[in-house]
Amino acid sequence: MKLLRIGASGQERPAALDGEGRLRDLSAHVADISGEALSEEGLQRLAALDLRSLPEIDPGQRIGACVGGVGKFICIGLNYIDHAHETGKQAPPEPIVFMKATSAVCGPNDPIEMPQGSEKLDWEVELGVVIGRRAKYVAEHQALAHVAGYCVVNDVSERGFQSERGGQWTKGKSHDSFGPIGPWLVTRDEIADVQDLDLWLEVDGRRMQSGTTANMIFSVAHLVSYLSRFMTLEPGDIIATGTPAGVGMGRSPQLFLKPGNALSLGIDGLGRQSTSVVAAAQQT
């Protein structure tokens, strides 16, 4: 299934794509694409529906974040060897883990805000893993059974805030709009091999990133198992699994985003995002 959320920010309703690519309203059957709805039982109930019999939704409406009520937004750094090398680093011996504030979550095509004082706004196309079953001390060979599905993530980053302002990476990863997810949550059963997906990103029509999840240093199964040793993973938690080479920080000369830049990015079978950069407005 391809599950998504449609409507204005804060008013999204659950939906699914039917076999012909039409949007169908799931509101009569589930409150949101979150929590219990992402469990094995919840997804089975949705899979049993005749989508063609459900009300059709106007495709012109905004697409929201594909998961509602995200509890934890966990990110993995330097998980592709080519990206590690472009930043001048070696492959890490264990996954590098940091958090992105859940207030950064937004729809896949919502504008990306350039923060006030930003000079090094960067892009990172990533495979997102959505947890569907509580995971604590999970063995690697059992880890994928705890995954509800997958989505496209852009781990938008402000490199100056991340690396030049002291502390950990979180402050460079958490501005509003720095966590576009979707368009869809694609359930696990639709992905034959999560370690064989192509991912790409373009800025103003120029290809910047082309990679494959086959080049991950730590696999999805390893990451779920590893993280479950340090924190309990709950349904609706998202893991952004790292980015391939081609980020602006890794280029020579370095290249960063400015207001007006247009981004497109996607992953095989998981859809694409299309957005643009705008200057963050002053809070009043």
* Interatomic CA distance for residues 102 and 170, integer angstroms: 11
3-state secondary structure at position 37 = helix
Distances in Å between the Cα of 216 and the Cα atoms of 8, 79, 91, 185, 243 are 35, 6, 10, 21, 9
Mean pLDDT in residue range 258-264: 98
> What is residue 91's predicted lDDT score, i.e. its pLDDT?
87
> What is residue 85's predicted lDDT score, i.e. its pLDDT?
83
> Residue 166: is it exposed, middle or buried by C-beta count within 10 angstroms (0-12/13-18/19+)?
exposed
Q: Return the structure tokens found at 266.
A: 């996607």
* Interatomic CA distance for residues 97 and 119, integer angstroms: 25
Asked if residue 213 lies in contact with residue 127, where contact means CB atoms within 8 angstroms, the answer is: yes
Lowest average pLDDT, out of 33-37, 83-87, 154-158, 257-261, goes to 83-87
Q: Return the structure tokens found at 118.
A: 């930003």
Domains of the chain by range and CATH? 63-279 (3.90.850.10)
Distances in Å between the Cα of 179 and the Cα atoms of 111, 126, 136, 218 are 11, 11, 25, 22
Q: Is the pLDDT of residue 193 over 70?
A: yes
Asked if residue 78 lies in contact with residue 218, where contact means CB atoms within 8 angstroms, the answer is: no
3-state secondary structure at position 6 = strand
Q: Report the candidate in 121, 111, 126 with the shortest Cα–Cα distance to residue 173.
A: 121
Report the helix count and the strand count for the chain, using DSSP H and E.
Answer: 4, 18
> What is residue 253's predicted lDDT score, i.e. its pLDDT?
95
Residue 42's Cα: distance from chain center in Å?
Answer: 21
Q: How many CB atoms lie within 10 A of CB 62?
A: 15
Q: Is the pLDDT of residue 282 over 90?
A: no
Report which residue type is found at 79. N
The number of CA neighbours under 13 Å toward the Cβ of 61 is 20
| β-bridge pairing 271-279 and 112-114 | parallel
Q: Report the candidate in 132, 135, 137, 150 with the shortest Cα–Cα distance to residue 193.
A: 150
* Band of pLDDT at residue 90, cut at 50, 70 and 90: confident
State pTM to two decimals. Answer: 0.96
Q: Report the candidate in 164, 163, 177, 176 with the shortest Cα–Cα distance to residue 98.
A: 163
Question: Which residue in the block uniquely carries the two structure tokens 């005749």?
Answer: 50
Report which residue type is found at 125. V
> What is residue 143's predicted lDDT score, i.e. its pLDDT?
98
Q: Return the structure tokens found at 214.
A: 């086959």
Instruction: Summarize pLDDT for 109-130 with one digit per residue, the tens.
Output: 999 999 999 999 999 999 999 9
Q: Report the candidate in 207, 206, 204, 202 with the shortest Cα–Cα distance to residue 260.
A: 204
